[in-house]
Amino acid sequence: MAHDHHNAPPSDTAMRVKALETLLTEKGLVDPAAIDTLIDLYQTKIGPRNGAKVVARAWTDPDYRARLLEDGTKAIAEFGFTGVQGEDMVVVENTEDVHNLVVCTLCSCYPWPTLGLPPIWYKSAPYRARAVSDPRGVIAEFGVDLPEDVEVRVWDSNAELRYLVLPRRPAGTDDMDEDQLAELVSRDAMIGTALVEAPAS
């Protein structure tokens, strides 16, 4: 699918979308300004830095961690990360013995309030197909070295529950505060396709 460049004419798809939005606006069914607001809201406010804050809190506050694992929706709501595609949250923890991987084989379900909108790879056919049948292969493809004796749990988000992985806190981070810890946490670590690394000293 060719990408638009500044000097190239808009693609057929771009024109189709414009036609649809224009038609619906003319019929009084859509306000384009609302779409502008939505795009801006997601681009500026809703992303994986939200989930990273939740993870950093869980690492530093054992009571919060317990609440988070017991009722993810309620604990995440303490940060205000609520709403669309995050109404019913379940947080699953990585341990010495268990590694978790999240997928939606049927479409692209993903916890938007904590991770933002999913990357193309998460929504792609190869990930959706193989995450359930060859999770170790997928994790290795992402460059993660997972020992054979660690159990891999794949979570297929086929209903309306949305899943967030609580990654393991890396060694050598005892002196870091919550903000510093949050910076270490990548989006992929909260999906299960990465581990959190301590910063190089």
Partner 1 sequence: MPMLTSEIVPGLVAGGASCRMDADVAPKFKPGDRVTTININPLGHTRLPRYVRGKTGTVARDHGVFAFPDTSVSGVHSDPQHVYSVRFEGEELWGQDANARSCLYIDMFDRYLEPA
Partner 2 sequence: MNGIHDLGGMHGLGPIEREADEPYFHEEWEGRVFGLFFANFAQGHFNVDQFRHGIEKMAPAGYLQTSYYEHWLHSFETLLSEKGIISLEELDRKQAELSQAGDT
22 binds, among partner 1, partner 2, none (CB under 5 to 8 A by kind): partner 2
Q: Which of residues 80-139 bind partner 1 (CB under 8 A)?
A: 80, 82-88, 90, 105-106, 132-137
CA dihedral 90, 91, 97, 99 (to 10 degrees): 90
Residues with Cβ within 8 Å of 119's Cβ and at least 6 positions away in sequence, in order, are: 187
Tokens representing 20 are: 């649809």
- The Cα-based distances of 98 to 86, 93, 94, 155, 186 in angstroms read 24, 8, 5, 13, 19
The distance of closest approach from Cβ of residue 181 to partner 2 in the complex, given in angstroms and rounded to an integer, is 22
Is 201 among the residues known to form the active site? Answer: no
> What amino acid is encoded at 56 in this protein?
A
Residues with Cβ within 8 Å of 169's Cβ and at least 6 positions away in sequence, in order, are: 59, 181, 196
Q: Which of 49, 123, 136, 168 binds partner 2 (CB under 8 A)?
A: 123
Is 186 among the residues known to form the active site? Answer: no
Which one of the spans 17-25, 57-65, 94-102, 164-172 is the region binding partner 2 (CB under 8 A)? 17-25
* End-to-end alpha carbon distance in the chain: 43
Residues lying near partner 2 in the complex (CB under 8 A) are found at 1, 3-4, 9-24, 27, 29-31, 34-36, 38-39, 42-43, 105-108, 116-117, 119-121, 123-130, 132-133, 138, 141-142, 156
Residues lying near partner 1 in the complex (CB under 8 A) are found at 28-31, 33-34, 36-38, 41, 46, 80, 82-88, 90, 105-106, 132-137, 148-161
